[in-house]
Amino acid sequence: MATTAAARPRPRGGLDPGLADKYRDWLRQMLLIRRFEEKAGEAYSLGKIGGFCHLYIGQEAVAVGSLAALGDDDYITCSYREHGHALARGISPQTVMAELFGKAAGCSKGKGGSMHLFDASLGFLGGHAIVGAHIPLATGMAFAAKYRDTSQVAVCYFGEAAVNNGAFHEALNMAALWKLPAIYICENNRYGMGTALERASAIYDISERASSYDMANEVVDGQDVLIMHAAMERAVQRARTAKIPTLLEVRTYRFMGHSMSDPIHGHYRTKEEVEGQRKRDPIALWSQRLIAEGLMDEAAIKALDKEIIREVEEAYQFAEEAPDPEPEELYRDVYAEDGGGRGTADTGS
Amino acid sequence: MAVVTYRDALNQALREEMQRDPDVFLMGEEVGVYQGAYKVSRGLLDEFGPLRVVDTPITELGFAGVGVGAAMVGLRPVIEFMTWNFALLAIDQLVNSAAKMRYMSGGQVGVPAVFRGPGGAALQLAAQHSQAFESYYAHVPGLKVVMPATPADAKGLLKSAIRSDDPIVFIEGEMLYNTKGEIPEGEHVVPLGRADVKRSGGDVTIVCHSKTVSIALKAAEELADEGVEAEVVDLRTIRPLDAETVLSSVARTHRCVVAEEGWPFAGVGAQVVDTIQREIFDDLDAPVLRVTGADVPMPYNKHLERAAKVDSAKIVSAANQVLYRGRDA
C-alpha cells in the first residue's frame, strides 16, 4: 500500500487553463497569509499581541495547496502555528487578527489567542498547543466520519518534531488499523524549535514512519503549491473512496524564528541556510509560474498585493478598535450550562 | 426494586443509553470480545456490534484523544480506562484537550465524553495499581468528576454523565463491582452535582464518597453502638461539589469528619474543609478532621496495606475526636 514520491508522476507541465481563477486565488491566499503574518509580527513587537506568536511565513503553500482540496464539511485540526491555515480555510482576517489581539470579536472570542483559533462553522477545530496531542483528536474525527458513514475526511497538521511523540504513533496506528479517512500532514520545516530533524529523529524520511502502520504516504514539496495540492487531492481521494488514511511528509521551511522571541536564524541554523531556503519562496515560485503560464502579469500581481495589504490593514484596524471581552466572559464557556457567574470552586475573595 | 450488582448497574446504564442514542459508543481496552476487564461491558458487543463497542490497542493517550476528537464533532463516546492508574498516560488529553476545548474555542466546541473505569485500591495490587486520582481531575475547571458508591447511583449517575454536554471523569470503585443493591425499576437517572445523605444523624457528619461510603456507614453503625448518631453524606459528584448538602448537615451536627481513599495532600477533603470553614465557621464546635489513605505509595504486604487504607476504626476515632469523646480514655 505504501507509495513513495519517487514512484509518482509529479504534475509538471501545463496548468489547466480552466482552473485559472483557482490558481490566481491560491496566490491571493498565500499573499494574504504572508502580509497578515508580517502585520502580526509588527503588532506583536508593538505589544498589541500577547503570549506566544508563531508565524507561518515560508510555509504558505502547504496550507493553501492542501486546504484547497477539501470540502466544506471536512474537519481540520492544527498545531499552534495555524494562522495561515485559519485564513486559508476562510476565517476572515478581521476575526483572526482580533483573536490575536484578544478581542471579543475574535474567532475564539478572545479566549484562545494565537495558538487556539477555532471556527466550528468551517470545520476548523482548533489550533492546539501541546505538541502532537491533537493528532489523536483528528483520528477521533475520522472515526466519527466512519461511524456516521459520511464521506468527510479529517485533516491534521503538525510539525516534524511531533512525530517522535507517542500521540503520533498511537493515532496513526489506530487510523490505519480501523481504516479511517484521516490525512496527517507533517509540515517538515526542519526544526522543532531549535532542534534539527536529524538531532531528534532516528529516521530522516518521516514518510517512512508510515510503513510502521502500512499507511499510504508521500513526500511532498511544500514550497510548490501545485504539487502540494495534487498530493492532497490524492490523499483526499484515498480517504473518501478507499477510506484509508495517508501520511504526507511535506518538506517546507519557516523563514522566521520559531516564535517572535526567536531571531530569524539563532544558534541552530545559519544565515546562509535561511537565505538559501528563501530562494524557494513559495509565493515567488508561484508568481513566476503564473507569469510564465500567462495567467497573470507582474502588474496584476502587484495590484493584488496592494489590495491584500489594504485588506490586512483593515483587519488590523478592526482588531485595534474591537472591544475587549466583557468581564463576565471570564466565567463563561467553562461548562455547557455556564452563563457566567462564579466558578464552582471559587472562593469569591 | 431489583437487586443488582454495581457492575451490572453500570452495564444497564450503558445498554440503555446506547439503545436510546445512536451517537453513544463504548471504546477502550478489552471492552468488546473480552467483555470488559471487569465485565462491565458484558454482552454489549453482541448487541451493538464492533463499530459501537470498540476494542483498542493499549494506548490510553491515543484512544482518550480519539474520544475527545469524536466528541468534538458531536458523538458521545464512553471511553473506558481499564483502571485510572493507566489513565495517567492520557491525562494530557483530559486536562489539555477535553477540559479546555469549550473555553479556548470561545464556547464553540464542547466535548460530551465520559471517561470511566475503576479507581482506588483493590487488594494487594501494590503501588502502581492502588491509587485514587479524583483530586487530580477535580482540580481542573472544565471537567466534572463523578464517583458513585452504590449500584443505584452507579446506574443513575452514568446515565446522567453520558447525557452531559461536558467531559466527565467517572471513577468507579474497583472493590465495588460485586456489591449489590436495589435499583428502581424503569428509567433511573441521578442528577450530577447532588450529594446524598446515606444515613441521617444529628451528632457528627461524615463526608465521604465512593468506597469510603460503605466504610463510613460501618463506622456509623459502630458509633451508634456507642450512642453517637452520625450522618453520612455521600458526595457522589466531587466536582461540582454539592456544598449546600454538606453545609446544611454540618450546620446541624456542628462536627465533621471527611474521609477519602486518596492521599492527604491537596485531597478532596481539603476542598471540603475549606468550604466548611469559610461558609459556616461559627457553626463548628470542633476542627474538621480528615481521614485519608496513608501518605505513602501503597505497599504490597497485606498488613502494611491494611494500615495504609481508610477503615471504619479510623473514621470512628476521628469522629470521637471531633466529639471530644474518649480522648483521655
Residue of A nearest to B110 (CA): A336
Q: What is the CATH number of the domain that holds A298?
A: 3.40.50.970
Contact A140 B241 (CB under 8 A): no
Q: What is the pLDDT of residue A261?
A: 86
E-strand stretches of chain B: 2-5, 24-28, 53-55, 76-80, 114-119, 144-146, 168-173, 180-183, 196-199, 204-208, 230-234, 237-239, 256-259, 289-291
* Catalytic annotation present for B60: yes
What digits encode the pLDDT tens for the residues B83-118?
999 999 999 999 999 999 999 999 999 999 999 999
Q: Which residues of A touch B64 (CB under 8 A)?
A: 136
Nearest-CA distance B218 → chain A (Å): 30
Q: Is B21 on the interface with A (CB under 8 A)?
A: no
Nearest chain A CA: its distance from B144 CA (Å): 9
In a domain, A44, yes or no: yes
CB contact under 8 A, B69 and A336: no
A24 within a domain of the structure (yes/no): yes
Q: Per-residue pLDDT averaged across A142-154, rounded?
A: 98
Buried b (16+ CB within 10 A) or exposed e, B33-57: eebbbbbbbbebbeebeeebbbbbe
Rounded to whole angstroms, the Cα distance separating A248 from A62 reads 11
Residue-range domains of chain B with CATH: 2-183 (3.40.50.970), 196-322 (3.40.50.920)
| Cell output for A274 | 535561511
Q: Which domain holds residue A296?
A: 17-331
Specify if A265 maps to a domain: yes
Average pLDDT over residues A274-282: 96
Q: Which of B60, B80, B174, B231 is catalytic?
A: B60
Predicted local confidence at residue A315, as pLDDT:
98
Q: How many CB atoms lie within 10 A of CB B89?
A: 17
Subunit contact B166:A144, Cβ cutoff 8 A: no
Domain assignment present for A320: yes
In this complex, the residue of B72, B75, B104 whose CB is nearest that of residue A137 is: B72
How confident is the model over B133-162, as pLDDT tens digits? 999 999 999 999 999 999 999 999 999 999
E strands of B120-179, at which residues? 144-146, 168-173
Catalytic residue check, B129: yes
Residue-level pLDDT at B223: 98
Bridge partner residues of B291 (DSSP): B259
pLDDT value, residue B120 = 95
Tell me how many domains chain A contains: 1
Residue A99 belongs to some domain of the structure: yes
* A-chain residues near B59 (CB < 8 A): 170, 173-174
Confidence of residue A90 (pLDDT cuts 50, 70, 90): very high
- pTM (two decimals): 0.95
- Is residue A347 in some structural domain? no
Query: Does some domain include residue A345?
Result: no
Q: Alpha helices, DSSP H only, in A157-265?
A: 166-177, 197-200, 225-237
Mean pLDDT, residues A280-296? 97
| Confidence check: pLDDT of A11 > 80 | no
Any residues with CB less than 8 A from the CB of B31 and at least 6 apart, and which? B41, B44, B45, B53, B54, B55, B80
Give domain status of residue A344, yes or no. Answer: no
Give the pLDDT band (50/70/90) at residue A5.
Answer: very low
